[in-house]
């Protein structure tokens, strides 16, 4: 763990394993609630000096970190593939995406503008400043173990906040690698601290209840996000939550079914389906259903599954056995209720797959609302396809979920695109676009998919307080 600039080992450790092979990569410190408190002590003590630096000083450190991260791109990608499982090509893409946040917020640090407001009184002037919220506790997930860290730490540091990070227990090595880059770039002692743990509940409780932590940022499941927000509520601690999704993917009758199916295959099987923006419900107009299914089946059946370090691999392992069990249960339930398996539908456990957590890329047709996969987030490599025939009803069907993170629309009609974009209750919508994300664009959801936004200018606002001064002259 990193606490007040010192790397600390504990007598208790836990193993970090490769999900493709079961190999133990390293053992890391197994932190406790007392370690979390010590890290908060360090962040609290470092806060006055760090918040007192100029925006240009903080910007310069983030610029250096951006360059160092790009220099280490290949080693970071390899570490991510070993620890998280995604193919090397995808890991390189994530490292670039993660570095983009360092660059973006290096620039945004210098744009924390205040303002003056006209008063109705001649002897009064109003002025507004934006100041750092204080110590930030950040909890990051395993599915994007590099970019989800920079997406939180870069704006927090740019705003002048200090941070205590608790990375996912499955991917602490990536977190430590990123923090080492920040330290090398010049982040002072105590400004960024890391607590690794195999038991996140006690650490999360300290984050929520310690009054010195003024902001909690979390990316993960909706049930855990609700628990954290509830625990933080008595102090009115500021929270931002990037939670689960259940994205609809709507293919209207006028869309090119082959083009849409290619897009669906790319985004559904992104990160082996382990992304909160992956579509869970693929709605296709009945008039173009067959060519869509034919293309989707052909492309998915060709996806190579295996260790992401090997050439040509498109689908890596799932994170653990529990993930395999969840995906398998959803597919079995769908089959029992009438769904058709066009390809896949099985756990892969023979030969080279025997030591990892692999599930065959799967396409399900004839999916209906009574199936688990229609309601529950899958977080795995299964595409569930539903046919529809009424453009008016499809909006209600797509919105019929407690989630509201991402959605996708395929149509060649601009009126259909705009009406659907405005009617869908989701925070991120791709219109003939499967990658509506960027460091420059706000990321976040509606309803039970979260609170607040990350990235863009909204991302740094999450770490700032607005202060008003009224001056009588």
Which residues have a catalytic role annotated?
242, 276
The closest alpha carbon to 220, from 192, 236, 201, belongs to 201
* Beta carbons within 10 angstroms of residue 187's beta carbon: 24
Of 368, 363, 398, which Cα lies nearest the Cα of 383?
A: 363
Task: Give helix 172-185 / helix 73-84 axis angle, nearest 10°.
Answer: 160
Contact 365, 295 (CB under 8 A): no
Burial 148-169 (b: 16+ CB within 10 A, else e): bbbbbbbbbbbbbbbbbbbbbb
β strands within 252-336, DSSP E:
279-285
Quick one: tokens of 469?
Answer: 């001064």
Helix (H) or strand (E) holding 50: helix 33-51
Rounded Cα–Cα distance for residues 255 and 258 (Å) = 9
Structure tokens at 280: 């869970």
H/E element holding 94? helix 88-108
First to last CA, the chain: 52
Q: Would you state the structure tokens that stand for residue 244, as one six-digit string?
A: 């689960």
Q: How far apart are CA 293 and CA 282, in angstroms?
A: 11
- Burial status of residue 183 (CB atoms within 10 A of its CB: 0-12, 13-18, 19 or more): middle
Distance from C-alpha of 222 to C-alpha of 238, rounded to nearest angstrom:
17
Sign of CA dihedral 14, 15, 16, 17: negative
List, in order, residues 6 or more apart from 310 with CB less than 8 Å away: none
- As given in the structure block, the two tokens for residue 82 are 């070993």
Query: Cβ–Cβ contacts within 10 Å for residue 283, how many?
Result: 20
Structure tokens at 109: 């640090």
d(C-alpha 107, C-alpha 112), whole Å: 10
Tell me the residue length of the chain.
Answer: 473
345 backbone φψ class: left, alpha, beta (φ>0; ψ -120 to 50): left
Which DSSP symbol is given to 276? Answer: T
């Amino acid at each position: 763990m990193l606490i007040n600039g010192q790397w600390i080992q504990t007598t208790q450790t836990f193993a970090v394993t490769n999900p493709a092979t079961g190999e133990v990569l390293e053992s890391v410190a197994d932190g406790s609630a007392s370690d979390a408190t010590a890290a908060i002590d360090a962040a609290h003590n470092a806060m006055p000096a760090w918040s007192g630096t100029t925006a240009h000083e903080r910007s310069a450190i983030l610029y250096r970190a951006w360059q160092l991260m790009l220099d280490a791109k290949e080693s970071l990608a390899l570490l991510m593939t070993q620890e998280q499982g995604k193919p090397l090509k995808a890991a390189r893409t994530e490292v670039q995406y993660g570095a983009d946040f360092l660059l973006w917020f290096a620039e945004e640090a210098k744009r924390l503008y205040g303002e003056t407001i006209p008063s109705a009184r001649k002897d009064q002037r109003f002025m507004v400043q934006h100041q750092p919220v204080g110590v930030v506790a950040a909890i990051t997930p395993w599915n994007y173990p590099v970019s989800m860290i920079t997406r939180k730490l870069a704006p927090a540091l740019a705003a002048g906040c200090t941070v205590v990070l608790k990375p996912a227990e499955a991917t602490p090595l990536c977190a430590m690698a990123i923090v080492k880059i920040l330290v090398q770039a010049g982040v002072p002692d105590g400004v960024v601290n890391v607590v690794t743990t195999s038991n996140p509940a006690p650490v999360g409780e300290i984050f929520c209840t310690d009054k010195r932590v003024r902001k909690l940022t979390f990316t993960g499941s909706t049930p855990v996000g609700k628990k954290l927000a509830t625990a933080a509520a008595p102090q009115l601690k500021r929270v931002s939550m990037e939670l689960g999704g259940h994205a609809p993917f709507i293919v209207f009758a006028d869309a090119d079914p082959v083009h849409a199916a290619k897009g669906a295959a790319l985004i559904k099987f992104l990160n082996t389906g382990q992304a909160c923006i992956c579509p869970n419900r693929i709605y296709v107009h009945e008039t173009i259903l067959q060519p869509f299914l034919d293309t989707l089946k052909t492309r998915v059946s060709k996806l190579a599954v295996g260790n992401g370090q090997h050439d040509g691999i498109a689908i890596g392992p799932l994170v653990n056995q529990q993930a395999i069990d969840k995906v398998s249960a959803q597919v079995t339930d769908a089959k029992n209720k009438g769904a058709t398996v066009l390809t896949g539908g099985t756990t892969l456990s023979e030969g080279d797959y025997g030591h990892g957590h692999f599930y065959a890329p799967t396409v399900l047709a004839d999916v209906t609302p009574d199936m688990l996969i229609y309601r529950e987030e899958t977080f795995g490599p299964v595409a569930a396809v539903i046919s529809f025939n009424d453009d008016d009803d499809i909006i209600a069907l797509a919105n019929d979920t407690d989630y509201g993170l991402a959605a996708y629309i395929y149509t060649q009609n601009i009126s259909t695109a705009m009406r659907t974009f405005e009617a869908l209750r989701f925070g991120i919508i791709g219109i003939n676009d499967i990658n509506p994300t960027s460091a420059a664009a706000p990321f976040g959801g509606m309803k039970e998919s979260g609170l607040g936004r990350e990235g863009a200018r909204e991302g740094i606002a999450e770490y700032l307080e607005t202060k008003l001064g009224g001056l009588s002259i």
